[in-house]
Chain A
Amino acid sequence: MDLFLQFGHGMMEHCRHLVRSWAGGTVILSPRDLKREQLVKLSEEIRGLQGGQVLLDPQFYVPRSDHHRLTAHDYWPDSYQTNGFFGGPGMQTMMTDVLQLNRDLGCAAFVLPGLMATAIDDDWLATLRATVEHAATMNAGMPLYATVALSADSVRNTAGIQEVLAEFETLDVAGAYLLFEHPNGDYIVQDPIWLANVLELAAGLRLLKKTVVVGYANHELLCLGAASVNAIASGTWMNVRAFSPDRFLAADEEDIKRKAVWYYAPSSLSEYKPPFLDMAQQRGVLASMAPPAAYGSTYAAALFSGVQPSSVGFGEPEAFRHYLQCMLHQARGVRGATFDATLTGLRQTLDVAERQARQLASNGVLPQLRGFSDAFDPVRSALSSLEATRGPTLRRAWASL
């Protein structure tokens, strides 16, 4: 499983730096955050780097958005009428414009516009099909990825998830770009049904031989390796690590609030503020929070230099790059030679992380809002559900996925 970079506010230099550092990588561009000229420029820069690729997320989840940066793009329709848009010239015009933008940006695949499903029903499925069927007539010259953006309630709708899969059985697309709204605005989801259905949809699509990219992901979705997902995409701020339609509704210049810096401890799957790293140092457990050398993250090296962590100038850029560097390593390492080996590896990761988090907590090193403690069991539960429903077929098909 690969890690793509989900573009968000202030990520230009991070993208350039990381793709260069990784000797390759894919950036999912965000029209919400970049004007057309900026999209073109960044795309050229990324593609100019060794192994650099871009995708464009058209972010048409909420067509009635009045987010001025989003609606300022040429492809955004001047008027959107619920009735008739997807069956008429409105959608066709938009698709033509979005395809042209994809071509101008040199995208590796054409991510099709898709509405967010507040409910998975016949109407929403019809818009999905109409978009795909129209795209198929456009000779895009690049693989087509259908966007499946689901509200938190839709994700919990187990029968609805199967309806999406049934629809994909006859959709002529190479892949799917999946976006799952987190329930209650949670960063780390604690709902096992939500997680199980995310895994179920991803696995079902992979078994249909579709390429699957899951956007707006954080480290909790490393478990998608068990569904043989091709890539998850993550970024810097929380709003590109957890999908929420609110981000695309109206421009809120205050949506990036300056918050505390968080250090991601990959071995406990939790993030900690520097004052708690000071506590870890005082309690003699700081070294256990360092990333393994194999992860290749030097961004946080200063924290482990012996100086008090909160005083070493570990700021947002370092925290973001450290997070994404660790995520890259963890994502690429999650897939095992077999489905069972992958599951075993993930379960071991959870067990180790839970022990580590407990050990740290017992020393007063607490992750506050970004802890994983309440997610260990939900993730385990979801993995067991996947094993029960899809395990036999994944086990059999693994080598071909």
Chain B
Amino acid sequence: MDIPWIAAQFPQLVGLQPLAKGGQKVVFAAQHAAEGDVVLKLLLKATGGERLEREVLAGQLVECDRVPRVYETGSLATPIGECIWLREQRVQGTTLRTRLNAGALDFVGVLRLGAQLLSTLAQAEAKRIVHRDIKPENVMVDHGGNFWLLDFGLARHLDLESLTATRHHFGVGTFGYSAPEQMRNRKREIDGRADLFAVGVLLYECATGANPFLIGARDQLEVLRRVEQQALPRLQMPADRDGAFADLVAALVQKYPTQRPRTVAEALTWMTEIASAHASPLPGGRTA
């Protein structure tokens, strides 16, 4: 599939540019007359159509200011087989991974990230959706400094049948961020608390500039061992005067889901209390 061929199938899109390619998925950036900057994702139905369909469903269900809006979906016969596609809002900015390459976030930034990410995930939780792939690569920082959650491609709908085979030794996710129960494919234990673990690791990394589960690890098995057996050192941030934020992160990264906050909503309340205690005006009249 070359760009001219794709452009011919989507005449309402102009300026089609490759954005990413991975696995059986290709992603393009483009402009739409009514919707502005958009992203077009195509996935071969035979190899992962169901996952993209779940991603579409998740995107539609999680109606949140900081999840890209899904505008339209459909299927398409291509020279290499049947594809399903989705067109969604394109967030202008950089990935959190790119931002972290310049160093850790400041305390206000970390609080804002925590509050916005948990707010998004709480809405997902209310729709019985677990994202399962929270990591810097899947978070965008827009030009206003707001954090967007991308890529519900691994999302688990708790009311729908799992797409991950029970026989698989490892579950889907990303080593170094995903919760132990998720990586061990203990599907019965997976709920919103799996995302809380990843949020905790992400916040830790953003606060310190490094993910201790990943630094210097020989291979993924060592990462897994660290995730399962190594406690993260307590966060030390001078601005976190009473240690309340360090407490929250420590609770999020507990090894067992039963040791974390019971729900994302509960974690969000906790985060909001901390953010309020450190409230400072932010652009747009919001607080951290």
**A interface residues with partner B (beta carbon < 8 Å):** 159, 162, 165-166, 169, 204, 208, 388-393, 395-396
Can you identify 17 A-B contacts, CB atoms within 8 angstroms? Answer: A162-B256, A162-B258, A162-B259, A166-B257, A166-B258, A204-B258, A204-B259, A208-B262, A389-B254, A389-B259, A391-B250, A392-B248, A392-B251, A393-B251, A393-B261, A395-B247, A396-B247
**B interface residues with partner A (beta carbon < 8 Å):** 189, 231, 247-248, 250-251, 254, 256-259, 261-262, 270
Give the residue of A165, A391, A392, A396 whose beta carbon is less than 8 angstroms from that of B258. Answer: A165
A122 to chain B, nearest CB (A): 11
B269 to chain A, nearest CB (A): 10
Give the residue of A169, A388, A389, A392 whose beta carbon is less than 8 angstroms from that of B262. Answer: A169
Q: Which of B248, B250, B258 has the most CB of A within 10 A?
A: B258
Contacts of B262 in A (CB 8 A): 169, 208
Contacts of B189 in A (CB 8 A): 166
Closest to B257 in A: A166
Q: Is the CB of B259 within 8 A of A396?
A: no
Contacts of A393 in B (CB 8 A): 251, 259, 261
Contacts of B248 in A (CB 8 A): 392
Contacts of A169 in B (CB 8 A): 258, 262
A338 to chain B, nearest CB (A): 12
A82 to B259, CA, bound (A): 33
Contacts of B257 in A (CB 8 A): 166
A178 to chain B, nearest CB (A): 16
A393 to B252, CA, bound (A): 10
Contacts of B251 in A (CB 8 A): 392-393
Contacts of A159 in B (CB 8 A): 256
Closest to B231 in A: A388
Q: Is the CB of A396 within 8 A of B270?
A: yes
Q: Is the CB of B256 within 8 A of A392?
A: no
B118 to chain A, nearest CB (A): 15
A285 to chain B, nearest CB (A): 41
Contacts of B261 in A (CB 8 A): 393
A199 to chain B, nearest CB (A): 12
A25 to B159, CA, bound (A): 48
Closest to B261 in A: A393
Closest to A200 in B: B259
A389 to B251, CA, bound (A): 7
Contacts of B231 in A (CB 8 A): 388
Contacts of A166 in B (CB 8 A): 189, 257-258
A165 to B260, CA, bound (A): 12
A208 to B250, CA, bound (A): 19
